[in-house]
Chain A
Amino acid sequence: MKTANPYRIIWIMFLLFIPLNSIAGEDNLKYTLNREDFENAALIRISELFSLIGEWDVYSVEGYTWQGTANAFDSYQQQNWTIIVDGQKMALKMFDLQNLNLIPLSADHIDSIEIFIFPQLVDTEYSDKGLIHIHTRKMPDGLNLHGQFTAGNKTGDPGPYRYTEYWSRNVDRIAADHSYGLAYSGNRGYLSGGYYTQVYYPTDSRIADRNRDIYPYENPRIITNSFFVQTAAPQIISQPQMSILHTKLEDFYFFKPFGREIPVTNNFTSIQINGKIVLKRSFDIGYKLRLTSNNLAKRKNRYNLDFDWKQQNIYANIDTRFVLNQQKINLGLAVDRTKIETRYNLTTNIINSIILYGSTAFKSDVWHGFKLNGAIDIDKEDIGYQLSGSAKWHLSEQQNLLNILSYSRTKVRSENSLWYWSEKGYDFVKDYGLGYSIDGKLKAGEQWSIDLIWQWYSTDITSINAGISYRSFINKNLELQPFQYNADDKTVASPVYIKTGQAGQGGLAFFKFRSDFFNSLSHSFYYRYSTYLDGSDVFTDIWESISKHRFMYQLIFKPVNTFSIWVMFNYRSSVFWSDYAAINNQSDGTYSAKLSDVFITDIAVNKWFWQKQIKVNFVLRNIFDQKDISYPIGSLQNLRFYAQAELFFNF
């Protein structure tokens, strides 16, 4: 087994940096989906935003909760990407799950979404696995009322054939959502609140038997109830903004070690305040305080399974930004305290960390720009550290060459994995009779990355980006779970083998194009090839679950500003989930480890009425009814449709 040689990579990084002794403006390292982008696409739920991001590969077991990995920085096993709302990190991650549905915002509460696909410090958070920053919608001055109502259905009901030999199972609704918002905005401050409910039935024929087996009381359904309150007072010297967010998610959590969904009630609450004091035009001090509680509690189920897991987190941060000799400098200090409450006796249930971070950005006519980011995360067990640099070279008026280099070492604790806590005494897996073994000691993973990107702008309305990337991973802790199928309850089971110290390398190449033909017509194209280059057997097997080829083509026709048609073509190549290698034979072909390539076409038609106070969307997903399955024992996402109405009144 070959592993990356860190010294060789440092040498390559050094060589690349010398000629590019310049730097990337921050804007080169992210892109933004603005409100118009996802209004045109008629984003139904916040978790659907992945469908607009080519760099993010995703899968879903039931079609409601999506798990992802960004830009070849990870496999699907660890969901270590970061999500931020209005500058505050959402501590959603629990074990191997990061569920966007816990964010108490419906799509109509979002103003824009920034996508960061390279390792860097964003605001006060360093992410080496990709980061999504959601900015909530700030309403215009005055009193604002808004609401959104969505009905969604999957096709494939039996119809009248239910009375004939062509009988088939009924297909339940996939959306019965409604959200409401009330906001007041004035010179002296801002107050906003919102509430939403979402309903989804995880009863596709491929997963219904499992869920009805464990939840035989009524038709299984996922219900999300959320609310938020936000307030800001920009006139006060410290410019405070405060938010209270809460979500109660009655879920069917697909718990991979058990090979099935477990009904749970997931309560997520976050109370947060942040602001900044501007001392001089070139010097300000920011602050943040955040209290978060994330609780995986029991929901009635036939086997009495109860995770009994509550994570409470306190995060406080102070941050300075100043300009010194044309250099923008950002330095910060954060304290992070996590406390676990559970019926199990843990050897450690409180973890305190101190995080030091900083970035510097330098711009001049000569050097074009340079940015360096770093963070150190210290607790009494271990130290994690991250470092990245980006440089930009103006090849010509219309062309840039960018490169981004990064290294990170992530503490085992930071991954918040089930196996870390199992080692600390959380015996949930053992209690319910399933075995696991850890091959040695869990290790702190290391990651190197290099990205080289060429950018070309012909005009303001046409751009091309193309690039190649290299990733190297050392000391990864990877799960191996050779599932066996149980035909009685349609579940799978296997002990879990955690293989530590796994290493491998990967790479990708991409091409991206965007152009606005006319005022009324725009389109964009994205293609990516991603693959592993080398690595241990476990590493390469796991990477096979990510499509090698991916392309997206998006066309928007907006002849007038009150009407639009959006079309998206999305292709992903076949994948193989090695943990399910035996399932094809064992399930007589019902399920398969190999998921075929799939070409999906979505259409959304939007019409506004009454001076844009009412909007109606009609959305068709997978209009050619292709066999879209993204997880071996997951649901079929066939042709489905949504009708949505949105009301917005400003007084």
Chain B
Amino acid sequence: MFHKNNYRCVYRVLLIVAINFFSIFNSPLMAAEPFKTITLGLNLLTNSNRNTFHQYWEPIYGIEAIGEVPFYLGSLEGGLFLFSFNGKSIDYPEFFSLYLFAGWGIKINFGSDLSWYNGLRIGTYQMRFDDNQIHPTQAVESELGAGIGSRFDLPILERLQLHLGIDYLIVFTQKKLEFVVLKAGISYTVDSPGWLKDFLK
């Protein structure tokens, strides 16, 4: 009854959920105070996989902006990433994509330094095609995007961390788009102001 692709997607999601549940019982984050801090991060992205889509388009480097707060269990994140793709011939116009997402994940701390974050993301993946032949409203399309991700965080200063991670993203177009994205960047953690904690709670 299930489509083969959906099985594959479900297995991947279940795998990450299983890892997260394992993490829960090994993580001090269960006791974290929700919304106590905000971590703001910036990552550079590169699309590393190749599939049918890449026969037509070549990915350019992307950028990701992300905010993360501790939740009652694990942490919540929200953000966006931007990517653009060049067509490999004039038949395939260049397009720019914006993925607005929300996510949840669990971080496992290895001692006081290195930590490993695993999470799920879901959001809307907007594509803007550089095509003068069609009506401007048709040049923009939005579709559901969902994925899983994993990253290592290494503190380099008291509140500054270095990231290295990998994301897997599915965009639920008729023929699905699948991206494996490698990322590296930095993030900075600040204490949440009281009004923001009240708002988020």
Which A residues form the contact surface with B (CB < 8 A)?
A: 153, 155-161, 163-164, 166, 168, 170, 559-560, 562-563, 598-599, 609-611, 618, 620, 624-626, 639, 641, 643
Contact = CB atoms under 8 A, between A and B. Distances in A.
Contacts of A156: 172-174
B129 A160 contact: yes
A598 B201 CA distance: 38
Nearest to B87: A163
Given A156-B172, A160-B173, A168-B174, 20 more contacts: A155-B173, A156-B174, A157-B141, A158-B173, A159-B127, A159-B173, A160-B57, A160-B95, A160-B177, A163-B92, A166-B174, A559-B72, A560-B72, A562-B201, A598-B1, A609-B200, A610-B199, A618-B122, A624-B2, A639-B172
Interface string B145-185: 00000000000000000000000000111110100000000
A276 B174 CA distance: 58
Nearest to B143: A157
Nearest to A614: B199
A626 B175 CA distance: 15
Contacts of A170: 138, 141
A157 B200 contact: no
Interface in B47-88: 52-53, 56-57, 72-73, 85, 87
A626 B10 CA distance: 13
Interface string B108-136: 00000000000000101001010000000
A153 B124 CA distance: 10
Nearest to B76: A607
A517 to B, nearest CB: 17
Contacts of B198: 610-611
Interface of B: 1-3, 6, 10, 52-53, 56-57, 72-73, 85, 87, 91-93, 95, 102, 122, 124, 127, 129, 138, 141-144, 171-175, 177, 198-201
Contacts of B142: 153, 157
Nearest to B102: A618
Contacts of B177: 159-160
B174 A164 contact: no
Given A158-B173, A639-B172, A625 B141 contact: no
Contact of A157 (B10, B87, B173): B173
A559 B144 contact: no
Contact of B171 (A153, A159, A563): A159
Contacts of A643: 124
A166 B102 CA distance: 30
A155 B144 contact: yes
A148 B142 CA distance: 21
Contact of A160 (B2, B85, B172): B85
Contact of B143 (A159, A611, A624): A159
Given A560-B72, A609-B199, A610-B198, A161 B174 contact: yes
B174 to A, nearest CB: 4
Nearest to A643: B124
Contact of B6 (A563, A625, A641): A625
Contacts of A598: 1
Nearest to A641: B144
Given A163-B56, A559-B73, A624-B2, A639 B144 contact: yes
A639 B176 CA distance: 13
A159 B73 contact: no
Contacts of B143: 153, 155, 157, 159
Contacts of B3: 625
Nearest to A638: B172
Contact of B56 (A155, A164, A559, A611): A164
Contacts of B87: 163
Contacts of A611: 198
A360 B53 CA distance: 70
B107 to A, nearest CB: 18
Given A164-B92, A610-B198, A155 B1 contact: no
Nearest to A159: B173
Residue with the greatest number of chain A CB neighbours at <10 A, chosen from B141, B174, B198, B201: B174
> Which 10 A-B residue pairs are closest in the complex by CB-CB distance?
A159-B173, A155-B172, A168-B174, A166-B175, A156-B174, A610-B199, A641-B144, A157-B143, A155-B144, A161-B175
29 contacts: A153-B124, A153-B143, A156-B172, A157-B143, A158-B173, A158-B175, A159-B171, A159-B174, A159-B177, A160-B92, A160-B95, A160-B173, A163-B56, A163-B92, A166-B52, A166-B174, A168-B174, A170-B138, A559-B73, A562-B201, A563-B72, A598-B1, A599-B1, A609-B201, A610-B198, A618-B102, A624-B2, A625-B3, A641-B144
B141 A161 contact: no
A158 B174 CA distance: 5
